[in-house]
Amino acid sequence: MVKIKWLGHAAILIDGSKKLLIDPYIKGNPVAKVDIDEIIVDYILVTHGHPDHIGDTVYLAKKKNVPVLAIFEITAYLQSKGINEIVPMNIGGRKNFDFGWVKMVPAVHSSSIMEDGRIIYAGSPAGFVINIDGKTIYVAGDTALFKDMELIGELLKPEIAVLPIGDNFTMNTEEAIHAARLLNVRRIIPVHYNTWDIITVDMDIFKRKCNEHGVEPIILEVNEEYEL
């Protein structure tokens, strides 16, 4: 049994034989409703360095003593913060784990870490295709729509996609629906919306547009789970 829980904004917890926490932005997240110290996690995955995604990675990695999967530059940054349980990856790479495998795929966005008034280069933004307990999930991270999503669908065959829909910083609702077609998935879990006014989405319209195009929108409340 594999469940996907939305923790608010772009933070999700994939719960199967292992617990995978992706983009753990919790403490400063205005919509998060979980006590960060109560989160149980086996692996942390980070799509890129922006503060609403790398979030509380340093805090959680130290407190929980769990490995962090991220692009090489982010893992190097984490090492500089005293975190040695790291799994450096790069775009196109795949690694096997005790729960299945993870492949790092491209995202069309930017990536940097903001610290003490400085902007630190954080490598390329990424998404993940995660195979856990036989279920395959595409977590896009922050991204625009891009044609190579078709290759992700063709080669990796995800059965569900976690996609940003908030526009302004990422693709919008119509583009997320088009992404589902490129990926050949019929279920979307939307993220990265309604956290702030600048990424406001009318979810009734999104739901209607999904239904018009044969896509099932899995619209979760914060802390709600969806079972695959």
Would you state the torsion angle of the CA atoms of residues 72, 77, 81, 85, taken in this order, to the nearest 10 degrees?
Answer: -10
Segment 123-152, tens digit of pLDDT:
999 999 999 999 999 999 999 999 999 999
Distance of CA 4 to the CA centre of its chain: 11
pLDDT at 208: 98
Domains and CATH numbers, the chain: 3-214 (3.60.15.10)
> Among 204, 212, 209, 160, which residue's Cα sits nearest to residue 186?
160
> Among 15, 30, 35, which residue's Cα sits nearest to residue 193?
30
Placement of tokens 């088009």 in the chain: 178
- First-to-last CA distance in the chain? 7
3-state secondary structure of 151: helix
**One-letter amino acid for residue 141 of the chain:** G
Segment 83-97, tens digit of pLDDT:
999 999 999 999 999
Contact 41, 51 (CB under 8 A): no
Distance CA 209, CA 71 (A): 34
Segment 163-190, tens digit of pLDDT:
999 999 999 999 999 999 999 999 999 9
H helix or E strand, kind and range, residue 204: helix 203-212
Distance CA 159, CA 83 (A): 33
Distance CA 88, CA 201 (A): 34
The pLDDT > 90 percentage for the chain reads 100
Segment 69-83, tens digit of pLDDT:
999 999 999 999 999
Residues 6+ apart with CB under 8 A from 191: 6, 9, 10, 12, 162, 163, 164, 165
Contact 127, 77 (CB under 8 A): no
Distance CA 3, CA 6 (A): 10
Tokens matching residue 19: 């617990």
Q: How confident is the model at residue 58 (pLDDT cuts 50, 70, 90)?
A: very high
